[in-house]
C-alpha cells in the first residue's frame, strides 16, 4: 500500500524524456519515464497516471506585468485558509486560461478609459452566441489585461475568478511486469496559436519543457481503471489506438510478451505520416518478430491524397475481425473521443451487422451486450 494518492501526490522524478515523432513531424509526441522509486505506488495495464502541472513562469510573469501586479500580493485561494503570494497562486493553483464573461463584466465595470468600456459593453451584449463564445475562447487572462489596460482589479478578485489548476490524466504505456518501478507515458505536446499568440498545453509542456530530469518535482498519482487486459491470458485482443491512443496498447503487448501470455494480439495504429509519426515502430517490429504481436495494421492519414484511418483498415479486414470476435476476442479503443472513437464504434456496428448477419437494431443490442460483458472497452478523451 502507498500513502500517495490524488490528495497526497508523490513528488516523482522524470528519468527519461525523448521525442517519438521526428523533427519534421507536424506533431510533437514525446515519451516520458516517471520513476516510482520510494513511493510504494503500484499500477496495472490500463491505469492512468495523474500529473499535477505548474504553469509556465514566463506566462505568469507576463500576466503579472500586464495586470500591474508585483506578484508579492497576498491572496487566499477559495476554500483554503492560508495566504500565499499571487505569484505562487498563479504558478501552482489556478489556470491562466479560460476567462469567463463574469471577468469581462468586471473589467467593464472597472475600465477607466471610455473606449475600452464601450468595447467591453459591446462584447458583453454581442447578440451572436457563436461569435460571443469564439471571442472569449480565443483569449486568456493575459490577452484581456493587454487589450483593456485601464481596467484595474485586485489580486484577490483575479484569483477568485480563475479556475483551479487541475491534474491531467495520461494512459500508462509501460507494463508493471517489465517496469514495476517506472511508469511510461506517451504524450502529444499541445501547442497552437489563438488571437495572434502562441499557446501551449499546461501539463504537456510542463513535462516536455519545464520539469527537470532526475528531480522530484512531478507530483503524480495512479488513477486505477476498469480498462485492462482480459483475466484470461489466452483470450485474443484487438486494440485500436491511433496517435497517443496507442499508449495502453504498448502496455498490453509489453505485459503479455513479458509474461509469455499465449493469447493473440492485433493492433490497429494510425497517425499522420509513416516516416515521422510511427510511434514505437522498432518495438512493434520486435514484437511482430517474436510473435508477441500477431497482427499490425497501419493507417497513415497524410501519406496519400485520400485520408486513411484505422476504421478503414478495420473494414478491409472485417471478416477476420469478426472471426476473432466470434472466438472470444476483447475489443479495445483508446484515443480521441470526439471523432475517432465515434467512427470506430460506427464501423464496429457495421461489421457486426454484416458479418454477424444481423439487422442494424440487432447489431446495436449485440454491441451493448459486448460492452456489458466487458469485452468492448474504451479509454477515450
Ligand atoms: C483517461 C485519459 C487518458 C489520457 N491519456 C493521454 C495520453 O496517453 N496521451 C496524451 O497526450 N493525452 C492523454 N490524455 C489527455 C491529457 O489528459 C490532457 O488533456 C492533454 O495532455 C492536454 O493537457 P495540457 O495540460 O497539455 O493542455 P491544456 O492546458 O489542458 O490545454 C488543452 C486545451 O487547449 C485548447 N486547444 C488545444 N489545441 C487547440 C487548438 N489547436 N486551437 C484552439 N484551442 C486548442 C483546448 O481548449 C484544449 O482543451 C488523456 C486524458 C484522459 C482523460
Ligand atoms: N499541434 C498540432 O499540430 C496537433 C496535431 C494533431 C493533434 N494534436 C492534438 O494532439 C492531441 C492528441 O493527438 P493524438 O496523437 O492522440 O491524435 P491525433 O493526432 O488527433 O490523431 C491521430 C491519427 O488519427 C487520425 N484521425 C483523425 N480523425 C480521425 C477519425 N475520425 N477517425 C480515425 N482517425 C482519425 C489523424 O488523422 P488526420 O489528423 O490526418 O486527420 C491521425 O492520423 C489531440 O488532442 C489533438 O488535438 C495537435
Query: For residues 381 and 364, what is the distance between their CA atoms, to the nearest angstrom?
Result: 23
**One domain, residues 203 and 291:** no
**CA nearest ligand 1 atom 40, residue:** 192
229 domain residue, yes or no: no
**One domain, residues 207 and 320:** no
* The pLDDT of residue 172: 98
Structural domains in the chain (count):
3
* Ligand 2 neighbourhood includes 371 CB (under 6 angstroms): no
Q: What is the CATH number of the domain that holds 300?
A: 3.40.50.80
Structure-block grid coordinates of residue 221: 498519482
DSSP letters, 209-248, are IISPBTSEEEEEEEE--S----SSTTS-EEEE--GGGGHH
1 domain residue, yes or no: no
**One domain, residues 154 and 193:** no
> Tens digit of pLDDT for each residue in 305-360?
999 999 999 999 999 999 999 999 999 999 999 999 999 999 999 999 999 999 99
5 domain residue, yes or no: no
* The pLDDT of residue 81: 82
Query: For residues 281 and 277, what is the distance between their CA atoms, to the nearest angstrom?
Result: 9
* The pLDDT of residue 16: 98
Q: What is the CATH number of the domain that holds 147?
A: 1.20.990.10
In this structure, which ligand is nearest to the CA of 185?
A: 1
Query: For residues 222 and 50, what is the distance between their CA atoms, to the nearest angstrom?
Result: 6
**One domain, residues 183 and 99:** no
**One domain, residues 251 and 299:** yes
* Ligand 1 neighbourhood includes 244 CB (under 6 angstroms): yes
**One domain, residues 23 and 36:** yes
Q: 29 CA distance to ligand 2 centroid (A)?
A: 11
Task: Answer with the one of 124, 144, 161 that is the final residue of a domain.
Answer: 161
Domain that holds residue 86: 57-161
Q: 203 CA distance to ligand 1 centroid (A)?
A: 8
**One domain, residues 154 and 207:** no
Burial class (CB in 10 A: 0-12, 13-18, 19+), 170: buried
**CA nearest ligand 2 atom 42, residue:** 271
340 domain residue, yes or no: yes
* The pLDDT of residue 1: 80
Query: Apex CA 105: angle with CA 100 and CA 111, to 5°?
Result: 125
| Consecutive H or E run containing 254 | helix 247-259
**One domain, residues 77 and 62:** yes
**CA nearest ligand 1 atom 44, residue:** 192
User: 298 near 270, Cβ under 8 Å?
Assistant: yes
Q: 26 CA distance to ligand 2 centroid (A)?
A: 10
Contacts of 343 (CB under 8 A, 6+ apart): 309, 311
Residue segments in the chain with a per-residue pLDDT below the cut of 70? none
- Neighbour tally for 18: CB within 10 Å: 8
**One domain, residues 135 and 149:** yes
* Ligand 2 neighbourhood includes 332 CB (under 6 angstroms): no
230 domain residue, yes or no: no
Burial class (CB in 10 A: 0-12, 13-18, 19+), 8: exposed
**One domain, residues 38 and 174:** yes
* Ligand 1 neighbourhood includes 202 CB (under 6 angstroms): yes
Q: What is the pTM of this model?
A: 0.96
Q: 48 CA distance to ligand 2 centroid (A)?
A: 20
**One domain, residues 261 and 359:** yes
Q: 51 CA distance to ligand 1 centroid (A)?
A: 12
**CA nearest ligand 2 atom 5, residue:** 27
Amino acid at each position: 500500500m502507498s500513502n500517495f494518492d490524488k490528495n497526497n501526490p508523490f513528488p516523482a522524478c522524470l528519468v527519461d524524456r525523448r521525442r517519438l515523432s521526428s523533427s519534421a513531424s507536424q506533431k510533437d509526441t514525446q515519451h516520458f519515464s516517471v520513476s516510482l522509486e520510494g513511493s510504494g505506488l503500484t499500477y496495472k495495464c490500463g491505469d492512468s497516471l495523474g500529473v499535477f502541472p505548474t504553469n509556465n513562469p514566463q506566462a505568469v510573469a507576463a500576466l503579472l506585468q500586464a495586470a500591474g501586479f508585483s506578484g508579492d500580493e497576498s491572496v487566499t485561494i477559495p476554500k483554503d485558509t492560508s495566504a500565499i503570494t499571487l505569484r505562487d497562486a498563479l504558478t501552482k493553483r489556478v489556470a491562466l486560461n479560460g476567462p469567463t464573461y463574469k471577468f469581462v463584466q468586471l473589467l467593464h465595470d472597472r475600465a477607466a478609459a471610455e473606449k475600452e468600456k464601450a468595447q467591453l459593453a459591446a462584447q458583453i451584449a454581442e447578440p451572436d452566441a457563436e461569435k460571443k463564445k469564439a471571442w472569449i475562447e480565443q483569449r486568456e487572462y493575459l490577452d484581456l489585461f493587454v487589450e483593456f489596460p485601464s481596467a484595474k482589479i485586485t489580486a484577490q478578485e483575479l484569483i477568485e475568478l480563475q479556475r483551479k489548476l487541475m491534474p491531467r490524466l495520461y494512459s500508462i504505456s509501460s507494463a508493471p511486469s517489465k517496469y514495476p518501478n517506472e511508469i511510461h507515458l506517451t504524450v502529444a505536446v499541445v501547442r497552437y496559436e489563438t488571437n495572434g499568440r502562441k499557446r501551449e498545453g499546461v501539463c504537456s509542456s510542463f513535462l516536455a519543457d519545464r520539469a527537470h530530469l532526475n528531480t522530484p518535482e512531478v507530483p503524480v498519482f495512479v488513477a486505477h481503471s476498469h480498462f485492462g487486459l482480459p483475466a484470461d491470458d489466452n483470450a485474443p485482443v484487438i486494440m485500436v489506438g491511433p496517435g497517443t491512443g496507442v499508449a495502453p496498447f504498448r502496455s498490453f503487448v509489453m505485459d503479455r510478451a513479458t509474461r509469455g501470455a499465449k493469447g493473440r494480439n492485433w493492433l490497429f495504429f494510425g497517425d499522420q505520416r509513416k516516416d515521422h509519426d510511427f510511434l514505437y515502430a522498432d518495438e512493434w517490429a520486435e514484437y511482430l518478430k517474436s510473435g508477441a504481436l500477431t497482427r499490425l495494421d497501419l493507417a497513415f492519414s497524410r501519406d496519400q491524397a485520400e485520408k486513411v484511418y484505422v476504421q478503414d483498415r478495420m473494414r478491409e479486414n472485417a471478416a477476420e475481425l469478426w472471426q476473432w470476435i466470434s472466438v472470444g476476442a476483447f475489443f479495445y479503443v483508446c484515443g480521441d473521443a470526439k471523432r475517432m472513437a465515434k467512427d470506430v464504434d460506427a464501423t464496429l456496428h457495421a461489421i457486426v451487422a454484416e458479418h454477424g448477419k444481423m439487422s442494424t437494431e440487432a447489431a446495436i443490442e449485440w454491441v451493448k451486450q459486448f460492452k456489458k460483458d466487458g469485452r468492448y472497452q474504451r479509454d477515450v478523451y
